[in-house]
Amino acid sequence: MNVLEVKDVYKRLGKREIIKGISFNVKEGEIFGFLGPNGAGKTTTIRMLVGLISANSGSIAIMGQDIKKHKEKALSHVGAVVENPELYTYLSGRQNLELVAKIRRVPLSAIDEVVELVQLTDRINDKVKKYSLGMKQRLGLAAALLSKPKLLILDEPTNGLDPTGILDFREIVRKAARETKTAVFISSHILSEVQELCDTVAFINEGVIKAVESVEGGTISKDSETVVVVPRDLKACSEVLNKLSYVKDLIEKDGELLVRAQIDKTSDMIFDLTEKKIAVKELYIRHKELEERYMELVEGGVR
Amino acid sequence: MGTLIGLEIKKLLHRKKTLITTIAFLLLIGLVAFGSYKEDENRRKWENPEFQIKNMEESIQNLKARQNELNISEEEKKGISSDIARMEEEIKRLKINPKSDAADWKKQTQIEIDNLKKQLESPGIDSTQKEYYKNQIQEYEYLLKHDIKPERNKLTAFSFLSVLYEGMGFIFLAVGVGLFTADMVSGECTPPTLKLLLTQPISRRKALFSKFIAVVSAATIMIVAIELISFVIMGLIFGFGDFNYPMFVGTRFKYDMNQVVNGTHPIVSIAGSTYMITRAVYLVRMFLLQILAIVTVASFAFMLSSIFKSSMVSVSLSIVTPVVLFIISNIQSLSKFTMLMFTNHLNPEYIMKGQNVMRFSNPNITPTFSIVLLVVWAVVCYGISHLVFTKKDILI
């Protein structure tokens, strides 16, 4: 079931067309990554999803409710952090959450639960003024999760989080997706982030979605992978490799060979090279598929 | 909706600005109270018979010295002599019975009524003066009938409030309430907490309206409560005065078509238009008009705060605009324009007593005119903020 449906959305700000017709769907329990460079239109898209700005054309529906026509109903299914988590700095963390709880008619008991989840229990009664950026991120996440939304929208959520915080954050998001079937929409420019967490990733640049691909086990599913071979004799090695059936092509670069080969053929490659007495210093699979894809789609090729 | 208003009030109460404005208001009240006390002290000194005798003896000596100067005419000398005689008479009276004035206020008031009646019948007075004398006579007769001693300028809780209004009519209402309101919306743009608020399942219309109701009620309660408390405190110290004391309001005006002064018809009061109300009623009306004034000033500042993203801009404009309007109100040639500005209709006393008529030389500025004008300003300003706020893209 689609929690979020975006169809043919265009947005102009002033004379510039920021979003040029994007469409995508996010299903129940799916973690959807929205990947793109700065200025690609990620935040503009998010602002439209939560009704802060309105699209010039096209439609956005959350749980079947149009964001323009039934904004209140649509937003009742959404928990969101847009850009930085902006909370009332002159109120305490708890008072901020109480504010959201009262508006959304969530019982106040839910606050303790969610505070526990984001591990802010010790500092929840302090004024937000005194929070670090990471703590604000946690509080923002808590505010978004408070009403157990059907759709969780997060904009660059790991900004300011320390490594433990990032791990905790991933765990929280995965748990929400798994246990309550929450659909999660995460925008990011950090590739590893998306690779680790997301089921699906959409690449956006210059207001257009270049591709939507699914990520499995931390990689984009495809039939080839890149193997890096560092041989002693470059020429001899490339001659041997070129003759192998499962090697699609190879590039020489800084004394290394980047070999694009069929998936799961690394052992065969080692056997074949050993057989031909080719001395190899190093051989490994490059786990940078997403990055390559990103470069390909966004920057126009591998650098 | 109720929840939203409650939350907005809670936010307001947690802001430093609220505390600062309240303290400023308390300081203003303290200053006015102190000033009224000093003035009252002076008045009592002047009313003291010994002080009066001393003053008069000084004047007599000065006059005598003047009489002996060479370059004054016979006529002037005669005048001085009669002045001296009058003062000596008065001194004698005060020395024999220093308390007579205070004890026999009824006789004194009767004498004044008789004097006023004489003046009323003298030829050549215009209808403004006639109205004034009539009201005076009515006031004194009412006092005699109800056995209320004339207060003149005595300090009471009532006179304190009316001094406070005069001082506040413009300054505190326009600036204070403006300052208090002007960052209700724009203040949520830096830091952009408006994003948190507007991504909740509430319509912008409700978000805006709850902010408006919250700020208006907070400002009203703060001002009215502090005024009432200071009223009670002043009353306990200096006396409340009589709640049935007569007040004259509602005078209407017209152009006197029979006369021309400086090329235009002078404005005179319409005979019989003034009517009397008790001070208690007056006080209630004053508070109601003041609340209307608070609402109007708040809507104006609220409009600025929803138009501008920067609270610096909205706050400065909400202070500068009333000050500029107040200054240009003194330019006679602009009076047709400035009389329509809400800043000139904030003082409840001005409205009830029709003082704006003389300020803007326009007899059409009735209390009803002022009230309707304030309501129109409030509705238009809120309407503009509603249109702007519900339509705009939140890009903060």
- pLDDT band at residue A302 under the 50/70/90 scheme: very low
Residue of A nearest to B17 (CA): A90
Query: Which residues have CB under 8 Å from A38's CB, separation 6+?
Result: A189
Q: Do B201 and A51 touch (CB under 8 A)?
A: no
CA distances from A284 to A228, A235, A249, B297 (A): 5, 19, 16, 73
Quick one: pLDDT at residue B126?
Answer: 75
In whole angstroms, give the CA distance from residue A91 to residue A85: 14
Characterize B108-131 residue by residue with b for buried, 16 or more Cβ atoms within 10 angstroms of its Cβ, and e for exposed: ebeeebeebeeeeeeeeeebbebb
- Retrieve residue A167's tokens: 């791990």
Of A52, A96, A102, nearest to B198 by CB-CB distance is A52
Q: Is B199–A99 a contact, with Cβ atoms under 8 angstroms apart?
A: no
CB count within 10 Å of CB A57 equals 11
- pLDDT score for A121: 93
Q: Closest-CA residue in chain B for A88?
A: B193
Assembly ipTM: 0.80
In contact, A171 and A259? CB cutoff 8 Å: no
Q: Which residue of B has its CA nearest to A14?
A: B393
Interface touch A72/B192, C-beta < 8 Å:
no
Residues of A in contact with B194 (CB under 8 A): 86
Beta-carbon contacts of residue A295 (< 8 Å; ≥ 6 apart): A301, A302, A303
Among residues A81, A84, A58, A60, which one has the least CA distance to residue A71?
A60
Average pLDDT along chain A: 88
The alpha carbon of residue A1 is apart from the nearest alpha carbon of chain B, in Å, by 22
Under an 8 Å CB criterion, which residues of A touch B? 13, 47, 50-54, 71-76, 78, 80, 82-83, 86-91, 95-96, 99-100, 102-104, 143
Asked if A103 and B193 come within 8 Å (Cβ–Cβ), the reply is: no
Report DSSP letters for A1-21, one per residue. -EEEEEEEEEEEETTEEEEEE
Best residue of A45, A62, A86, A185 to probe chain B, by most B CBs closer than 10 Å: A86
From CA B28, how far away is CA B24, in angstroms rounded? 6
The minimum CA-CA distance between A43 and chain B, rounded to whole Å, is 10
- Which pLDDT belongs to residue B12? 92
Q: Are B73 and B38 in contact (CB under 8 A)?
A: no
Q: Would the pLDDT of A217 be above 60?
A: no
Distance CA B240, CA B293 (A): 25
What secondary structure letter does DSSP report for B277? E
Rg (CA), chain A: 23
**How many beta carbons lie within 10 A of that of residue B254, not counting itself?**
16
Residue of B9, B200, B311, B396 to mutate for A, most A C-beta atoms under 10 A = B200
Q: What's the one-letter identity of residue A72?
A: E
Residue B98 pLDDT: 58
Q: What is the pLDDT of residues B286-337, one digit of tens each?
A: 999 999 999 999 999 999 999 999 999 999 999 999 999 988 988 888 888 8
Q: Over the stretch A5-39, which tens digit does the pLDDT of each residue have?
A: 999 999 998 889 999 999 999 999 999 999 888 88
**Average pLDDT over every residue of A70-82:** 93
pLDDT of residue A222: 62
Asked if B201 and A143 come within 8 Å (Cβ–Cβ), the reply is no
Q: Is B2 on the interface with A (CB under 8 A)?
A: no
**CB-based contact B395 A47, cutoff 8 Å:** yes
Q: Which of A69-83, A210-224, B54-68 has the lowest mean pLDDT?
A: A210-224
Smallest Cβ–Cβ distance between A91 and the set B14, B191, B394 belongs to B14
Q: Is the preceding peptide bond at B191 cis, omega within 30 degrees of 0?
A: yes
**Nearest chain A residue to B1, by CA:** A103
CA–CA min distance A300, chain B (Å): 30
The predicted pLDDT at position B148 comes to 81
**Segment 195-254 of chain B within 8 Å of chain A by CB:** 195-196, 198-203
What string of DSSP letters covers A78-135? Answer: EEEE-SS----TTSBHHHHHHHHHHHHT--THHHHHHHHHTT-GGGTTSBGGG--HHH
Q: What is the pLDDT of residue B353?
A: 84
Q: Does the beta-carbon distance from A89 to B200 stay under 8 Å?
A: no
The answer to whether the Cβ–Cβ distance between B200 and A82 falls below 8 Å is no
Inspect the interface and report whether the beta carbons of A82 and B11 lie closer than 8 Å: no
pTM of the model: 0.84
Q: Burial, B82: exposed, middle or buried (Cβ in 10 Å; 0-12, 13-18, 19+)? A: exposed
CB nearest A53 (choices: B3, B203, B393): B393
Quick one: pLDDT at residue B169? 62
**Residue A299 pLDDT grade (very low, low, confident, very high; cuts 50, 70, 90):** low
Question: Contact at 8 Å (CB) between B210 and B12?
Answer: no
Pick from A48, A50, A52, A145 the residue to mutate for testing the B interface (most B CBs within 10 Å).
A52
Q: Given B199, B202, B203, which is nearest A80 (Cβ)? A: B199
Angstrom CA distances, B388 to B115, B310, B393, stand at 63, 15, 10
Q: What is the DSSP letter of B345?
A: G
CA distance A203 to chain B (A): 23
From chain B, pick out residues whose CB is under 8 angstroms from the CB of A87.
193, 196
A191/chain B closest Cα distance in angstroms? 26
Q: Which residues pair with A27 in a beta bridge?
A: A2
Is A219 or B62 the better-scoring residue by pLDDT? B62
Whether the Cβ atoms of residue B204 and residue B389 lie closer than 8 Å to each other: yes
- Chain A and chain B share a number of CB contacts under 8 A equal to 75
Residue B378: the pLDDT is 97
Check if the beta carbon of residue B343 is closer than 8 Å to that of residue B319: no
CA dihedral sign, ordered A281, A285, A287, A290: positive
Distance from C-alpha of A185 to C-alpha of A32, rounded to nearest angstrom: 5
Residues facing residue A283 across a β-bridge: A229
Q: Which residue has the higher pLDDT, A182 or B190?
A: A182
Sites in chain B below the pLDDT cut of 70: 97-103, 167-170, 262
Contact criterion met (CB < 8 Å) for A86 and B394: no
Beta-bridge mates of residue B276 = B248
Q: Kindly indicate the confidence band of residue A301, based on its pLDDT and cuts at 50, 70 and 90.
A: very low
Q: How many residues does chain A have?
A: 303
pLDDT at A139 (0 to 100)? 94
Return the exposure string of A100-129: e unless at least 16 CB atoms fall within 10 Å of the residue's CB, then b. Answer: bbbbbebeeebbeebbebbebeebbeebbe
The residues near B210 (Cβ < 8 Å, ≥ 6 apart) are B1, B4, B5, B7, B8
Distance (Å, rounded) from C-alpha A231 to C-alpha A274? 12
Q: How many CB atoms lie within 10 A of CB B95?
A: 11
B338 CB contacts (<8 Å, ≥6 apart)? B325, B328, B329, B331, B344, B360
pLDDT by residue (tens digit) across B156-195? 888 888 888 876 666 778 888 998 999 999 999 988 999 9
User: Chain A contacts of B14, Cβ < 8 Å?
Assistant: 88, 90-91, 95
Q: Which one of A19, A69, A77, A88 makes the best mutation probe of the B interface by having the most chain B beta carbons within 10 Å?
A: A88
Q: B77: which DSSP letter?
A: H
Say which residues have a Cβ less than 8 Å from residue A266's Cβ, sequence separation at least 6: A227, A283, A285
Closest partner CB to B15 (pick from A86, A90, A103): A90
Q: How many CA atoms lie within 13 A of A67 on its CB side?
A: 30
